[in-house]
Structures are given as C-alpha cells and as structure tokens.
C-alpha cells in the first residue's frame, strides 16, 4: 500500500499518532521502507516472521524506538552502524536472518538499555567484545547459531539482571511476542512473560576453553545453553548455585570430569542434556535428578556409569568397561514427531511420581497440511494441585492428529493463565500447535488398563474441521 485515501467521510475525533506497529506473521515481502523514519513517535516496530529482504535501512537509526523486532525474515548485509543512535532501545531481535558481520562493538558501548539481544541464526563472526558486558540490564542474550569463536567472557557475570533477585525485568511490554527454542521445543512468549525470562544461549558456535566459573554468579538464570561448541574442562562445581535453573544443555562439546552432585539441588531443573562429551564416573542421583530419567541425555559419554544407563560403577566410582549398555528396542519413527509442553504458572512446584498423569480442560488447534484439527478434553478427574498443567501432544504425518495424556518433564513458567503457548517444530516444518489453556488444575485421570494391568496414557483422535 502506497496511498491511503479515506477522504469525504464522517470521521470524528483526533488523529492518532502511531506509536506501536505490529506487522508480524504476515506475508510481507520486499524491502523495509526507509520512510519509516518519518514516524517520529514510533516506539515499537515488529516486522518479524515475514519475507522481507535486502538490508536493514540505516534511516531506522533516526527513530526514538524502544522495541525493534525484525527476526525470521531474509535480511542481509550488516547491522547499520546508525542503530547505535537508538540509545533507548530495550529489545533488539534480528534472529533468523542472513546477516553477516563481525560482532558490533558499539552494541555494548551505546545500547546500554538493552534487555533482550537476539542475533541468533545469522552469520556473525569474531569474538564477543568485552563491551557487551557493560549492558547490566541484559536479561536475554541469544547469540546461538553463528560463527563466533574465542572464549566465553568471564565478565558475563556483570549482567545484574540475572543476579538481582528481581522477578520482573525492566521495561515495557507493547504486546511483544518472542519465540525461543528451549528444552527441546520451540516456545512463544507473549507480553509480560518476556519480562520474567533469564536466558543465556551461546549454542552452535565455535567457542573454546572452559565454562567460566563466573557464570555460576547468575543466580536468576533459568535457561543455559552452551551446546555444540568446542568447550573443554569440567562443569563448574558451583553450578548448584543456579537455583532458578530450569534447562541446562551442554551437549556436543569436549567437556570431561565428573558430573557435579550439586545439580541434584536444582529443584526447578526439568531438562538437562550432557550427551556427547567425555564425562566419567557415576551419574548423580537424588531430588530433582530422579525425574530426569532419559538416558539419551547421557549418550556419547562411554566412561559414565550408573543405574540409569544400566552400567555398573567399580569400586573407585568409574565405569565397568566390561559391561555393555543394553540397546533395547529403540526404533526411529519418521511418521511421528513428538513435542513436549507443560506449564506451571505462579510458583506451584509439584513433585509427582511416575503414576500421576495429568490432563486439564484444554483446546487444541493443530494445523497440518493446511487443515485444521480441533479437539476438546472434558475429563474432570481428581484434583491434585491448583495452578499446574502438564501434557504431551503428539503429531502424526498421516492425516489426523492425536492428543495423549502423559507425565512429561516439568516445565515451569512464572506467569498466569489466559495466554496462548505455541509449540513449534523446527523452522522448516509445516505443522504447528497453538494451545490455549482453559483451566488451571492438575488432575489424575482414571487411565485405561493394558493387558498387564498397568496404567497407560489415554489417547484421543482429533477430527478434521474446516479449511484454515
């Protein structure tokens, strides 16, 4: 649209000043217009998840903007240096584009009001400049999926947003939406949820050296992902100080030594992946680690031992090399993709045994192959706890979809009901789930019995409705 003509009408009232432009998730293409800089009162610009291409116009540096979201497009070139003038910028999201540039030093020097910085899935290269550590308000740095190298700066402990004890981060909301891949799934955070998150993601780069002990000072950190780098040395012994940690991914590195027992003290830890390193000795047990019983999170560490991987430890705590891990009947199933999702709003934390399965009154919309599937579960089993919901959702490549009730890993989000959580597969997949929570109770449904008398998850098939 180049012209807007609404003349000769009976419009009344004042002429509004555009402050918030939310154009995300459309089919917009072409270049970002340079004339956007004429919107002098614009405070939030969200063009995410479109098909925009070309370079980021340098004229955006003339705005007084606080939120700039351009992620998931096809933008190329460098970040224009004129953006250093956006000294009030609180959120800068340029992730999942085709930008190629050395990591800009001026980001840390000039944009010291940043809370969220996402440059993930681009082609940035070089070392992380120490100037980045000057942004004490930074709560969510995501630099994953680039060509960054060198060591992880020890000065990351300067991010006081992650060790202040404040429940909410600074800043405003402006109806923002941010998607992040954590705990093996892609989650979309909306509105005030963004203010609650403390995330450090440096995965899929070329970092070397040890994990800095200084990272354990970020006591409010919830998600730490250092996977797919070339890190060596051991896990810091004080990692148990990260009491709010919910997700830890150190997989695909060159880490060695023993797994610290202090991990068992992390009561909120619901996802941990240490696979494909060189850890040795027994796998710690106790407390929250009892629920992390997926042995695939430890594969690729031949010197580990423990009950979980069915490999006994000898007298000095090392693995018995003569024993082999039973392989079981694992079989890849290309026809099914499983996505785990759960919500524990507020501060409700429950520890459930393997027989307590949950399902709440929910509505599912599943889009696959351009068809909408809608299903409702109206079961009202015994109430166990207020403010908790857990579920497992399964998608099939065949025509149709299923919803299964099962106990899954605890995912804790400090938020309230009423928002929509989107669970997405990888970027190139064609199916997704948008789940709207309609109840806030954790239930123990009466499960059907299998032939051996054990409880098994209840499965419902969703019926097709109209085209979407």
Closest CA to 44 of 191, 196, 188: 191
Phi, psi of 393 (to 5 degrees): -120, 130
The b/e string for 270-297 (b: 16+ C-beta within 10 A; e otherwise) is bbbbbbbbebbbbbbeeebbebbeebeb
Residue 375 to residues 263, 323, 460, 464, Cα–Cα distance (Å): 39, 47, 8, 9
Query: Of 266, 281, 296, at which residue does a domain stop?
Result: 281
What pLDDT shows up at residue 17? 73
Indicate whether 21 pLDDT > 50. Answer: yes
243 in the same domain as 356 = no
342 in the same domain as 277 = no
Q: Determine the 3-state secondary structure of 270 from DSSP.
A: coil
Average pLDDT (427-432) is 32
pTM for the model: 0.66
pLDDT category at 287 given cuts 50, 70, 90 is: confident
Q: Is 105 inside any structural domain? A: yes
260 in the same domain as 357 = no
What pLDDT shows up at residue 194? 61
State the CB neighbour count (10 A cutoff) for residue 40.
Answer: 10
Q: Is 345 inside any structural domain? A: yes
151 in the same domain as 67 = yes
Average pLDDT (18-44) is 89
26 in the same domain as 159 = yes
Average pLDDT (53-58) is 96
Q: Is 3 inside any structural domain? A: no
What pLDDT shows up at residue 193? 57
Indicate whether 342 pLDDT > 60. Answer: no
Query: Of 249, 266, 281, at which residue does a domain stop?
Result: 281
Q: Is 296 inside any structural domain? A: no
Cα separation, 136 vs 394, whole angstroms: 41
What pLDDT shows up at residue 19? 83
Indicate whether 428 pLDDT > 70. Answer: no
State the CB neighbour count (10 A cutoff) for residue 16.
Answer: 7
pLDDT category at 294 given cuts 50, 70, 90 is: confident
- Looking at every residue in the chain, the average pLDDT score rounds to 70
Average pLDDT (390-401) is 33
386 in the same domain as 246 = no
Here the CATH number for the domain that contains residue 190 is 3.80.10.10
Burial (Cβ within 10 Å: 0-12, 13-18, ≥19) of residue 212: middle
Indicate whether 458 pLDDT > 50. Answer: no
349 in the same domain as 272 = no
State how many domains the chain has: 2
Sign of CA dihedral 200, 202, 203, 207: negative
What is the 3 state secondary structure string of 6-17? Answer: CCCCCCCCCCCC
Q: Is 221 inside any structural domain? A: yes
Q: Is 6 inside any structural domain? A: no
Cα separation, 168 vs 171, whole angstroms: 9
143 compared with 370, residue with greater pLDDT = 143
What pLDDT shows up at residue 377? 33
Q: Determine the 3-state secondary structure of 359 from DSSP.
A: coil
pLDDT category at 357 given cuts 50, 70, 90 is: very low
266 in the same domain as 166 = yes
What pLDDT shows up at residue 280? 95
Query: Of 218, 248, 281, at which residue does a domain stop?
Result: 281
Closest CA to 375 of 465, 462, 272: 462
173 in the same domain as 87 = yes
Q: Determine the 3-state secondary structure of 193 from DSSP.
A: helix
Q: Is 302 inside any structural domain? A: no
Strands (E), 210-314: 223-225, 230-233, 247-249, 254-257, 271-273, 278-282, 303-305
168 in the same domain as 27 = yes
357 in the same domain as 256 = no
Report the share of the chain in percent with pLDDT over 70. 57
What pLDDT shows up at residue 195? 64
Q: Is 268 inside any structural domain? A: yes
Average pLDDT (61-86) is 95
pLDDT category at 275 given cuts 50, 70, 90 is: very high
pLDDT in tens, 210-250: 999 999 999 999 999 999 999 999 999 999 999 999 999 99
Cβ(255)–Cβ(280) below 8 Å: no
Out of 22-31, 55-64, 190-199, 220-229, pick the least confident. 190-199
What pLDDT shows up at residue 60? 95
Cα separation, 464 vs 401, whole angstroms: 9
341 in the same domain as 271 = no
Structure tokens at 459: 């499965």
Domain that holds residue 358: 336-467
pLDDT in tens, 194-209: 667 889 999 999 999 9
């Amino acid at each position: 649209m180049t012209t807007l003509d609404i003349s000769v009408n009976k419009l009344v009232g004042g002429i509004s000043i555009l402050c918030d432009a939310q154009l995300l998730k459309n089919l917009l293409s072409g270049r970002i217009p340079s004339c956007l800089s004429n919107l002098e009162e614009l405070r939030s610009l969200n063009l995410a998840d479109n098909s925009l291409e070309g370079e980021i116009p340098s004229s955006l540096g003339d705005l007084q903007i606080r939120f700039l979201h351009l992620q998931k497009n096809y933008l190329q070139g460098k970040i224009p240096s004129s953006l250093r003038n956006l000294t009030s910028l609180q959120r800068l999201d340029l992730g999942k584009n085709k930008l190629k540039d050395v990591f800009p030093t001026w980001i840390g020097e000039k944009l010291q009001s940043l809370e969220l910085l996402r440059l993930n899935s681009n082609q940035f290269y070089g070392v992380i400049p120490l100037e980045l550590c000057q942004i004490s308000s930074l709560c969510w740095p995501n630099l994953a999926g680039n060509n960054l190298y060198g060591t992880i700066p020890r000065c990351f402990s300067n991010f006081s947003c992650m060790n202040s004890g404040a429940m909410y981060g600074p800043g405003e909301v402006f109806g923002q939406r941010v998607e992040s891949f954590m705990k093996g799934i892609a989650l979309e955070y909306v509105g005030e949820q963004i203010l609650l998150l403390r995330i450090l993601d440096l995965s899929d780069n070329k970092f070397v050296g040890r994990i800095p002990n200084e990272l354990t000072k970020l006591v409010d950190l919830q998600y730490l992902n250092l996977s797919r780098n070339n890190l060596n040395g051991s896990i810091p012994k004080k990692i148990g100080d990260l009491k709010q940690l919910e997700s830890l991914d150190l997989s695909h590195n060159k880490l060695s030594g023993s797994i610290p027992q202090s991990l068992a003290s992390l009561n909120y830890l619901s996802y941990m992946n240490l696979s494909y390193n060189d850890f040795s000795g027994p796998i710690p047990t106790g407390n929250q680690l009892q629920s992390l019983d997926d042995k695939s999170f430890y594969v690729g560490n031949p010197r580990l031992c423990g009950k979980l991987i069915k490999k006994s430890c000898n007298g000095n705590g090392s693995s018995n090399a003569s024993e082999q891990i039973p392989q079981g009947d694992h079989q890849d199933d290309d026809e099914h993709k499983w996505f785990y999702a759960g919500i524990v709003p507020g501060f409700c934390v429950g520890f459930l045994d393997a027989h307590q399965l949950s399902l709440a009154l929910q509505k599912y919309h599943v889009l696959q192959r351009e068809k909408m599937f809608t299903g409702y579960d109206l079961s009202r089993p015994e109430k166990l706890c207020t403010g908790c919901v857990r579920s497992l959702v399964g998608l099939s490549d065949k025509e149709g979809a299923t919803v299964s009730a099962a106990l899954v890993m605890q995912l804790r989000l400090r938020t309230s009901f009423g928002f929509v959580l989107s669970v997405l597969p990888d970027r190139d997949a064609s199916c997704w789930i948008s789940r709207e929570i309609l109840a806030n109770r954790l239930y123990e449904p009466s499960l059907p019995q299998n032939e051996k008398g054990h409880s098994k998850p209840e499965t419902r098939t969703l019926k097709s409705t109209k085209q979407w």
